[in-house]
Amino acid sequence: ILVLACQENQKPRIPMPVTNLSDISLIPKPTKTIATNSAFALDQFTAIYTSKSATGFDKVGKFLAEKLKAKINLDIPVNQETTNTIDRVIYINQSDSIVLETPEAYQLYINQDSIILNANTAEGAFRGIQTLRQLVPDVSTDTLAEQKIWPVPSGKIIDSPNFGYRGAMLDVARHFFSVEDVKKYIDLLSYYKINMLHLHLSDDQGWRIEIKSWPKLTEIGGSTEVGGESGGFYTQEDYKEIVRYAQERYMTVIPEIDMPGHTNSASASYPFLNGNGKTPELYEGMRVGFSTFDTRKDTVYSFIDDVVREISEMTPGPYFHMGGDESHVTKKNDYIYFVNRVEKIVQKHGKRMIGWDEIANADIDSNAIAQWWASEENAKKAVEKNMKVIVSPAKKAYLDMQYDTLTKLGLHWAGYIPVDTAYQWTPEEYGIPMENILGTEAPLWSETITNIEELEYLAFPRVIGYSELAWSIPENRNWEDYKVRLGDQAPFLERMNVNYYPSKLIDWK
């Protein structure tokens, strides 16, 4: 009877299911959430409008519509004049009026008839729509109406990042990963607001980026990988495509060419580089620390100049990573001399140099950045030089460490890192003064992983926790609370076909 009554009544007033905005599982957790205990009814009468004068906002609106289409199969018009009935609107506004301390800050106001997303920049708006994507339920509510409704709980979210640098590194040298694989990883990372993708493009086992002036690097050096498979490399067009795809998600690509150690594949391609008069064999094992460039030869620096120039020209981001780790067969003085000279080359090509923590031993500029992975002593030196530090301690932040003794993939030289250990540490209190911390990064080395499923198994779910350590303020981070929110990520991960490790510590939804 009730059903009939409603149907007769043309446009029934539907009691909205009351959900509490504060109870929705968001990762990373926003700075501030205020629930108002009502809901916005997302439905087929919803439209998206964005600021048109400010650049990028239109694209952010379209990105949101595309993702909602994929999630709930609803077509939402973006900036369209329409004769259709529009009952509810999502506005994505460029706004200078609010105090937004970083370009990535945003504010989200969810009312019954409108959602207003304010941000200073399209980048901020992009971070904001990731939150909105998480707020839209997977399934519509069964109501008496004929139309489906996806209720978004009402309230206000005020949010901005804890660190401006929130990185993930992928080693495409030990095993090569296709452009498609990298894009999938980018997509998943950007959903959790990670904004830096560091690509480890060269190592002893492979050279993965086409350099036009030195073609044998990829012809020879790109032909192998760990374990004897055939390797691979990115053409410059491929690399540009990765950069473009990342940029569309407001993610910066950081290219790394690891030197003077980790250079067997380069020297196998151009034997003059190692200076010992021998042509090295291509290498498919897992040892580290056996190769070096000849640091006292000018031609080595002209080679590096070409490599840094070609890569920098294709890289819009401000950084170039020169590796610098584990140069065990380079004499200390030679190492210092080398890092100093490479820094000049990197600067000449307009980039800011990053290197693994060992580079703090050179006489570099305070503008260079040390990525702390192992040595406390090096980290201290970096701080003394007033350098910025990327916090990536292997014991806590290495995605290639095994979860426990039963994990088949991965390594454990820095220990086992179960999902709780990965989350329960404080980068802000790990020994580097706050003012020196640029941000955090979770590296994924690929000696033991050969395809995207294996990549996903080690990265997920831990990288989701690293996104929260980087984005959310310490007061908002708490394992008991986080683990529930993590369990709620299962439908998303499954929909995205992610082969995540189903840790028993988590109650997966």
Question: Which residues contribute to the site for ligand TNX (CB under 6 A)?
Answer: 288, 325-326, 356, 373, 398, 400, 411, 445, 447
Quote the CA–CA distance of 231 and 251 in Å, as a whole number.
Answer: 26
If you write DSSP's letter for every residue of 254-268 in order, what string do you get? EEEEEESSS-HHHHH
**Nearest-approach distance from CB 136 to ligand TNX, in angstroms:** 38
Residue closer to ligand TNX by CB (options 144, 411) is: 411
Instruction: Please give the structure tokens belonging to residue 193.
Output: 């607001």
Residue closer to ligand TNX by CB (options 326, 456) is: 326
**Nearest-approach distance from CB 159 to ligand TNX, in angstroms:** 32
Residue closer to ligand TNX by CB (options 72, 336) is: 336
Quote the CA–CA distance of 26 and 489 in Å, as a whole number.
Answer: 9
Q: Is 104 a catalytic residue?
A: no
Quote the CA–CA distance of 129 and 28 in Å, as a whole number.
Answer: 13
Strand 165-171 versus strand 196-200 pairing type: parallel
**Nearest-approach distance from CB 410 to ligand TNX, in angstroms:** 8
Residue closer to ligand TNX by CB (options 39, 354) is: 354
Residue closer to ligand TNX by CB (options 87, 376) is: 376
**Nearest-approach distance from CB 452 to ligand TNX, in angstroms:** 18
Residue closer to ligand TNX by CB (options 198, 351) is: 198
Q: Position 427: which residue type?
A: P
Of 326, 343, 447, 468, the catalytic one is 326
Strand 165-171 versus strand 252-259 pairing type: unpaired
- Residues 6+ positions from 12 with CB-CB distance below 8 Å: 6, 144, 145
Select from 138, 117, 54, 249 the least CA-distant residue to 489: 138
Residue closer to ligand TNX by CB (options 104, 400) is: 400
3-state helix/strand/coil string of 376-407: HHHHHHHHHCCCEEEECCHHHHCCCECCCCCC
Instruction: Decide: helix, strand or coil at residue 226.
Output: helix
Number of Cβ within 10 Å of residue 244's Cβ equals 11
Contact in structure between 224 and 265 (CB atoms under 8 Å) = yes
**Nearest-approach distance from CB 295 to ligand TNX, in angstroms:** 19
Instruction: Please give the structure tokens belonging to residue 359.
Output: 């580079």
Residue 171 half-sphere exposure toward CB, CA atoms < 13 A: 28
**Nearest-approach distance from CB 413 to ligand TNX, in angstroms:** 6
Residue with tokens 């995540």: 500
Dihedral sign of CA atoms 310, 312, 314, 320 in order:
positive
**Nearest-approach distance from CB 402 to ligand TNX, in angstroms:** 11
Enzyme catalytic residues: 326
